[in-house]
Structure 1
Amino acid sequence: MSSMVLNFKQKSFTIGFMEDQPFISTNGRHDRRGIEVEMMETLAKKFNFTINYQSFRQSTWSYLYDNLTNEEIDFVIGGTVMTTERLEKVHYLYPHLFDKFTFATSPSIANLDHFDLNILIRPMDSSVWLLLAITLIILLFVGRLFQSIQPSIQFNNHHQNIRQDLFNICIHHLFRQSVPLLRLANRPIKICSMFWSFTAVIILANNYTGSLCSMLALPSHYSMDTTIKLAKQCRNHHIITLGIANSRPYQSLIESKVEEIQLIGQRMQFIRNYASAIKIIIEQSRRQKTLSSNGPSYVFISTRLRLLFKMIYAGKNLVFLPPNTETAALLPLYVAIAITKSFAHRKQFDRMIFYFHSYGMFNHWIRMEAFRAMESRNFPIDHPHDQDNDADIAQQPEEKKSKFNIFNPYDAMNNLEFNDLKSIFFLYIISILITLIIFLIEFITSLSSFKRMINS
């Protein structure tokens, strides 16, 4: 009996859905496609049942789940996530996707880079800099002690007094400069400078320059790439987060025990649907709005896979998504198909979904949806009911499709630009100004000495 395949004999099941890529979407002919559509169609072929789709596009998630609880529909799809409150009213099939809550915003908002010389001290810890400063101060006093007891050296028959300064020698070594007349120094200075050159040049200087070059070679263009940094901007009242109204996962942010996540939830403004939220982000990007601009700046909170497809469709120049790291995640989420509590064939469906995972079918369906999203970006499909929400996206200039891995959209290397090396150039300007000031001081001093010599 257990080996028999479940057969519904063309029984019709009603599936209620909220339309959203990549889970389910429709075109002008009402042809449906998406990850969960592929899954349900495959299950329908396997278990011999038919599907009647019912759209709840103009409704809310709460109303959709009420229909499922009242058994007016049989399944709920559209990237719905499991919550404890929902589990009290409905059941879920085996989760077909493990996702996480993250955020998306405009690249101009996420780019918090500003001129900061901290990059020059970042290769070494503050304790290392403190010890280095203390060591140089000690060398300064020791050098003055050596200089006070060092006899003058006659050189080149010009009776020029040469006194080797230990501090000056160590500074030369630290900046990898040659030390003139080091062989004429006394033995204590030579021994001290020898140990210093080993530690300063081989260890400190090489480690510092290597780390600094690595940081400049792999620059971080976007500073707001973690939830902590997002929470900091929310605390400063620079950011308003966007969430979907009447959706339980967003309420979990406000009730979170984590201070940063709770702060992000408290700054949330609820809107009707995902399309409206993405439209706000795209319009914000086209205005090149920054945090220093007047008016509120918006960040949309949603599942990572959903935001990734929004970024693919709109373009990385309009939607910024942080790297796929734990520091950029707010909450872990299980995406699953919701079913009624009276559904008696949950075990058979769960087994098939587990097989789909084992065979890599979900990864295949996700890639297929990504290719369709990139194609529709260059060749927009007419959605009569989406004209208001997606008009701005459809009217954007045609762009060359970029080849990137949808699971890692940050694999392309960027050329070094001025923003990456601006700290170095500003340091050059500062050093030139200091040099000019020293030159003016020496010139004025020499001029005064010359006048005194003439007067005498």
Structure 2
Amino acid sequence: MRINLQQRKLRIGTNFNPPYSAVNLNHQIHNGFEDEMFVTLAKYFNFTFNLIDFNGHYGIVNDNGEWNGLIGGMINDSIDLAYGGIVMTPERYRMVDYLYPHWIDPLTFITNTVKSEQKMNKLLRPLSMPIWITLIMVFILFFLFNFVHDAIMSPIIRYHNNNNRNNREEHLVWIALREFFRQPYQWFNRLNLSKKITIICWTVAILVLTSTYSGCLLSELTIPDRNQIDNIWELFKMFRSGQIIMVGSAVSMDIFKTKFIENNNVITKNLNNNMIITKNRKEGLDFLFDKTNGKFNKRKRNHPQQIGMPMTKSSGDFLQFILGKDLLYLPPIKIDSTIISMLVAIPINRKTFNNHHHHFSYYHEEFNRVLAQFVGCGLTKRWSDKFWHNEQLNKAYQMEKSGLTSNNYYDDQSSTSIQKIQMHGKKCEKNS
């Protein structure tokens, strides 16, 4: 039987976290797909609600052992329900109850894009180091061969040079060097037989070698270096060697650290030196874009490595959609690019629905039944697709209105990137 809450007003905590929740300041327009889900639940169960913004704080345990954020509000009985892309963790599950999970979101990572630079070592890359060493040794052998040959044949060479002053032979190293740079030697016929055989063999070898070198060098110069990380194994390797700093909230960093230790079977002594715990996503993004002051900016100067941030795929998609691929890199979602799959669900206050008419479990079961139907019939997927469709139309409208091209649009977004992402009405502190 459908529950009728008789227009009961529920206190609902939320955070600005597209595509899950994106409510404007006056709470009249619900853009996120969880916003639409709650509007539908309110109509179905006949209740109203008042949204309470928690400014991007989801809930962690502080030094006093107390919970803050949305989970803390649930424990302190200041809110009845909460939403905004809230993932289920064992620590949270021990403190609050959850409704039926309505979304599965892979926890992956984003990194700041690193511009490739043309370096001089690209001239050496086409050939491996053993080949370069071999070439040096070959020129040394040419010098020794020329020295021994001239020492043995010195009487004949001296006689030949006295009679033919214009037909003197050049040093074998110089001839080999000319052939190396594909410069023909015009007086090849003047060489004796042993030197001719040596130069012919060298010319054939160097023809193959220089053709390979030039082809590989052109490829190196044409195709830019790929500095992006596409899987967690490469991420773990760079993290362990200190080539990347991971920035994120305490919850996401705990999951990352656990997964790292699990896959490396070792606890690195300096592990925490490559991690920075932030209060919320805004601090993480500030660090990612080097917009911080104080200790974070000092840490960035001391550690010029690449910056990474654990993030769910949905949130990463939205950030990359707003900022463009030139500022943020999100790896393609595959098994080897997923740290862990997260269950997204609605935490519920047990005290809210305990009354003399019905026990909490009765409301819990009814809400779960409806949520399971939402998921089963594809409503949550439809609401998510609707959100992305609206965002694309909104971006296209802004570009047409301002006369921007796609690249200029991203440049315009990047100039106020943090504000664009965190904007919640007139405030810039809404984040997840």
Give the TM-score range, shorter chain: 0.5 to 0.7
Match of 1:178 among 165, 184, 192: 184
Equivalent in the alignment of 2:318? 309
Partner of 1:27: 24
The correspondence for 1:400, drawn from 390, 404, 413, is 404
Residue pairs, 1:251-266, within 5 angstroms: 251-253=254-256, 256-257=260-261, 265-266=272-273
Q: Give the match for residue 70 of structure 2.
A: 64
Q: Deviations over 1:399-449 (max 9, x none)?
A: 82416999xxxxxxxxxxxxxxxxxxxxxxxxxxxxxxxxxxxxxxxxxxx
Task: Indicate which of 135, 143, 150 corresponds to 1:140.
Answer: 143
**Residue in 2 that maps onto 1:274:** 281
Query: 1:136 Cα shift?
Result: 2.9
Matches of 1:355 and 1:21 in 2, distance apart? Answer: 23
1:33, distance to aligned residue in structure 2 (A) = 0.8
Task: Say whether residues 1:248 and 2:251 are aligned partners.
Answer: yes
Find 1:121's aligned residue among 121, 124, 129.
124
Question: How does 1:26-425 map onto structure 2 within 5 Å?
Answer: 26-30=23-27, 31-37=29-35, 52=49, 54-58=51-55, 60-62=57-59, 63-67=69-73, 76-89=82-95, 90-91=97-98, 93=101, 95-104=103-112, 110-111=114-115, 113=117, 116-149=119-152, 151-152=156-157, 159-163=165-169, 165-202=171-208, 204-220=209-225, 227=235, 242-244=247-249, 247-253=250-256, 256-257=260-261, 265-266=272-273, 268-278=275-285, 284=291, 301-303=309-311, 305-307=314-316, 309-310=318-319, 312-313=321-322, 320-322=327-329, 324=331, 331-334=339-342, 336-339=344-347, 343-344=364-365, 346=368, 349=371, 353=375, 356=378, 362=384, 365-366=387-388, 368-372=390-394, 400-402=404-406
Q: Distance in 2 between matches of 1:161 and 1:234?
A: 60
Change (3 A) 1:210 1:87: farther
CA distance in 1, matches of 2:103, 2:248: 23
1:308-333: per-residue Cα shift (whole Å, max 9, x none)? 5345545778xx32362699979445
Where does residue 358 of structure 2 map in the other structure?
A: none
In structure 2, do the counterparts of structure 1 residues 190 and 295 end up closer, same or farther at CA, with 3 Å as the change threshold? Answer: closer
Matched AA of 2:132? W
Residues 168/351 of structure 1: CA separation in 2 closer, same or farther (3 Å cut):
farther
Matched AA of 2:291: Q
CA contact (8 A) 2:104 2:341 kept: no
How far did 1:217 drift?
1.4
When normalised by structure 1's length, the TM-score is 0.59
Instruction: Kindly provide the amino acid, as one letter, of the partner of residue 324 in structure 1.
Output: P
Q: Secondary structure at the match of 1:118?
A: helix
- Say which SS state the counterpart of residue 16 (structure 2) adopts: coil
User: What TM-score, normalized by structure 2, do the two folds share?
Assistant: 0.62
Q: CA distance change for structure 1 residues 49 and 147 in 2, over 3 Å: closer, same or farther?
A: farther
Aligned-partner residue type, residue 32 of structure 1: H
Quote the residue 1:448 is aligned against: none
- 1: CA distance, partners of 2:382 / 2:194: 71
Change (3 A) 1:261 1:209: farther
Contact 2:13 2:79 (C-alpha < 8 Å) held by counterparts: yes
What letter corresponds to residue 106 of structure 2 in structure 1?
A: F
Percent identity over the alignment is: 18
CA contact under 8 A between 1:15 and 1:53: conserved in structure 2? yes
Question: Partners of 1:291 and 1:198 in 2: how far apart?
Answer: 57
Equivalent pairs, count: 366
Higher normalized contact order (CA 8 Å, seq sep 6+, divided by chain length): 2
Structure-1 separation of matches of 2:206 and 2:52 = 70
Q: Deviations over 1:4-30 (max 9, x none)?
A: xx9767998875421123322122442
Contact 2:229/2:331 (8 A) holds in 1 = no
Letter in 2 for 1:78: G
Instruction: Tell me the CA shift for residue 216 of structure 1.
Output: 1.6
After TM superposition, the structure 1 stretch with the greater mean CA deviation from structure 2, 176-185 or 226-235, is 226-235
Is the 1:254–1:263 contact (alpha carbons within 8 Å) kept by the matching residues of 2?
no
User: Separation in 2 of the partners of 1:378 and 1:274?
Assistant: 31
Give the match's secondary structure for 1:85: helix
Measure, in 2, the Cα distance between the counterparts of 1:357 and 1:176: 69
The runs of 5 or more residues in structure 1 that have no matched partner are: 1-5, 380-397, 407-456
Structure 2 CA distance for partners of 1:291 and 1:42, relative to 1, 3 Å: same
Shift in alpha-carbon separation, 1:147–1:261, aligned structure 2, 3 A: same
Partners in 1 of 2:203 and 2:252 — Cα distance?
60
Alpha-carbon distance in 2 for matches of 1:308, 1:180: 64
- For 2:241 and 2:370, locate their aligned partners in 1 and report how far apart those are by CA, in whole Å: 47
